[in-house]
Amino acid sequence: MDTNIPYTGFLRLPQILKLFPISKSAWWQGCRQGRYPQPVKLGPRTTVWRAEDIRELIQSVGKGENDEK
């Protein structure tokens, strides 16, 4: 699966939700509960996530799906 995630840098929420298709509220709830990576605040209205953390999340979910089959 070609996710086009940079090796370093930051992703905004719309970019993440294209790769990990869940609702915004489910994403934020997962962040609060520790299931998803914690956000980084760059400013009062700018929240991002580390590209490395998102890549790791997608890989771990993919491994979990393969293990269940």
Query: Per-residue pLDDT for 2 more than 80?
Result: no
Beta-carbon count within 10 A of 36 CB? 20
Side by side, which strands form the sheet with 40-43?
A: 10-11, 46-50, 40-43
pLDDT tens figures, 37-49: 999 999 999 999 9
Strands (E), 1-69: 10-11, 40-43, 46-50
CB 11 within 8 A of CB 57: no
pLDDT tens figures, 3-20: 688 889 999 999 999 999
Q: How much is the pLDDT for 8?
A: 93
pLDDT tens figures, 24-34: 999 999 999 99
Q: How confident is the model at residue 1 (pLDDT cuts 50, 70, 90)?
A: very low
- How far does Cα 42 stand from its chain's mean position? 17
pTM reported for the whole predicted model: 0.83
Per-domain residue ranges of the chain = 10-68
